[in-house]
Amino acid sequence: MRFGRRIFAIIILAISAVGLVAYAYSIALQNNPPGGTNSCAPPSTASNSYNANFQGNEYKAENVTFTDINQQVALAGVVFTVASISDPSIPQPQNGNCVSVQNSNVQATIQVRATFNDASSETLTLNYKGGLTYETNKLSTHQHPTAGLLWQPGKSYIILLVSLS
C-alpha cells in the first residue's frame, strides 16, 4: 500500500512538471510568435502593377516595400514570398520597445522566393539601400516567365519584375 502511494505521488509530480513546461512554452510563444514575425514591423506596401522595360525586355512591375518574412505579393502568375529580410531601418522588438536604426549607410539584404505557375520556385537574394549609388538586381534562371528583383538608388522600395514573354 505504501509503495502504491509513492508511485501515485511520482505520477502527479510528473504530470505537474509537464504542465509547467507547457505553460512556459505558451508564454514563450506569445513573446515570439511562430514564423519569426516581427511585431514591430509595419505592413508591407505595394503599388499598382505597371509595364516596364528592363535590360531591353518588357516586364510587368510593381513597387513593393517588404517589412517581414512570409509577406507575399502575386504578380503576373508569380508569387513572391519573403524568406528572410535584414533591414535595420525596419523597427525590431528590443526590451519591450520597437527600435530601428536610421543610418542611411546600413545595407539591407532580402531573400525572396519566386514561385511560378509550373510549381517550381527559386530564391532570389538582393542587397540594397546602405548608401549604394548603383542599381542592384537579381533575375531568376527560370524563363517564360523570368522573375526578378530590382532596387534603384535612393528608393525605399524594391521593384518586382515578371517578364511578359
Whether 117 and 141 map to the same domain: the answer is: yes
Whether 63 and 102 map to the same domain: the answer is: yes
| Residue 95 bridge partners (DSSP) | none
Q: In total, how many domains does the chain have?
A: 2
Rounded Cα distance between 152 and 150, Å, is 7
Whether 79 and 115 map to the same domain: the answer is: yes
13-27 pLDDT, tens digit per residue, is 778 766 666 665 555
Q: Which domain does 71 fall in, by range?
A: 36-163
Distance of CA 63 to the CA centre of its chain: 16
Whether 75 and 148 map to the same domain: the answer is: yes
Whether 22 and 64 map to the same domain: the answer is: no
Whether 9 and 50 map to the same domain: the answer is: no
pLDDT at 92 (0 to 100):
85
117-140 pLDDT, tens digit per residue, is 999 999 999 999 988 899 999 999
Whether 17 and 50 map to the same domain: the answer is: no
Model's pTM, two decimal places? 0.75
| Residue 150 bridge partners (DSSP) | 137, 159
Full DSSP string of 53-114: EETTEEEEEEEEE--STT-EEEETTEEEEEEEEE-TTS-EEETTEEE----TT-EEEEEEEE
Whether 8 and 87 map to the same domain: the answer is: no
Contact 137, 151 (CB under 8 A): yes
Cis ω for the linkage preceding 33 (within 30 of 0): no
Least confident residue range of 10-24, 28-42, 52-66: 28-42
Whether 6 and 72 map to the same domain: the answer is: no
Whether 129 and 151 map to the same domain: the answer is: yes
Whether 41 and 66 map to the same domain: the answer is: yes
**Percent above pLDDT 70 for the chain:** 85
pLDDT at 93 (0 to 100):
86
Whether 27 and 43 map to the same domain: the answer is: no
